[in-house]
Amino acid sequence: MMTPPFLRAPRLASIDTLSHGFFGREGGVSSGVYDSLNVGPGSKDRREDVMKNREIVAHTIGAVDGKHLISLYQTHSPDVVTITEPFDWESRPYGDAMITTQKGLALCILTADCTPVLFADPVAGVIGVAHAGWKGALAGVLENTVAAMEREGASAENILAAIGPSLSPGSFEVGPDLKTPFVQKHAWAESCFTAGDGDRSWFDIWSFCERILSDCGIKSVESLGEDSLTQPNRYFSNRYCVKHKLSDYGRNASVIMLR
């Protein structure tokens, strides 16, 4: 089975009880606008190709099979699901973050510009993932993930967090309708916005996520600094799809597993 290219966060990679990876669009079997490692069944890609791609990612991470690559029905919510065993794709629960203490379950967040965050407390043996699009980030998905991990015995000071490929500060242009609720909830968030043309701003969601995680007590936060919009040959991007009037787009996988 082919091994697709993927990125790892150095601190997470230094823990031998963990396996993780941030996958882009290279190394799969899909074609057309989904070329080639599309892991998102929510797209209009051929189901058999998506499932084959999920098998490829699962194999690369070290999971038993594609069924052990766990994904949710993501809705941009702050909801966290505790995973204890695999489930059929059709019965996947709703949520935008997951945690587990079970070895061999590869938690997989799907993104196409939103921010994926991986978590691990290697001391307690608890891992987590979060889909931190702006709606979920504002609603508290990161804080909720940390709290759920702590309920399973994790300690914030022992948690390592890694922010994966998503919209960079130079690619995330927003209007006042997005900026206002962030600043209203967190006055310090003003520093995460840079003035653009007219009433537009550029949003540094990486810095926002880093501050939230720090405020949760996490001391180790690393960001890959990978922009999903400006690298169309490496990553699927919703904004790129809209800008270039493409018919659809695939999904990138961000995965972590306890060995």
Task: Specify the pTM.
Answer: 0.98
Element (H, E) at 126: strand 126-132
Element (H, E) at 109: strand 106-111
Could you tell me where the DSSP H helices lie in the chain? 10-13, 47-61, 134-139, 141-151, 176-185, 205-215, 238-243
- 208, 83, 74: which is closest to 152 by C-alpha? 83
Question: 78-86: which pairs have CB atoms within 8 A and are 24 or more residues apart?
Answer: 78/136, 78/139, 78/140, 78/141, 78/143, 78/144, 79/141, 79/144, 80/128, 80/130, 80/141, 80/144, 80/145, 80/147, 80/148, 82/148, 82/152, 83/107
List of the chain residues with pLDDT < 70: none
User: Could you tell me the CATH number of the domain that includes residue 120?
Assistant: 3.60.140.10
Domain extent for 159: 6-258
**Structural domains in the chain (count):** 1
- 150, 156, 203: which is closest to 176 by C-alpha? 203
Query: What pLDDT does residue 102 have?
Result: 98
Torsional sign, CA 148, 150, 156, 161? negative
64 occurs within a structural domain: yes
Query: What pLDDT does residue 163 have?
Result: 98
Query: What pLDDT does residue 2 have?
Result: 75
Please tell me the distance from the alpha carbon of residue 63 to that of residue 75, in angstroms, as a whole number: 25
Token look-up 């029905």 returns 73
User: Phi then psi for 254, rounded to 5 degrees?
Assistant: -120, 120
Tokens standing for 221? Answer: 């936060």
Tokens standing for 90? Answer: 């059709």
81 occurs within a structural domain: yes
- Using left for φ > 0, alpha for ψ between -120 and 50, and beta otherwise, residue 104 falls in left
129 occurs within a structural domain: yes
1 occurs within a structural domain: no
Instruction: Tell me whether residue 138 is exposed, middle or buried, using C-beta atoms within 10 angstroms of its C-beta: 0 to 12, 13 to 18, 19 or more.
Output: buried
Could you tell me where the DSSP H helices lie in 93-188? 134-139, 141-151, 176-185
pLDDT by residue (tens digit) across 100-134?
A: 999 999 999 999 999 999 999 999 999 999 999 99
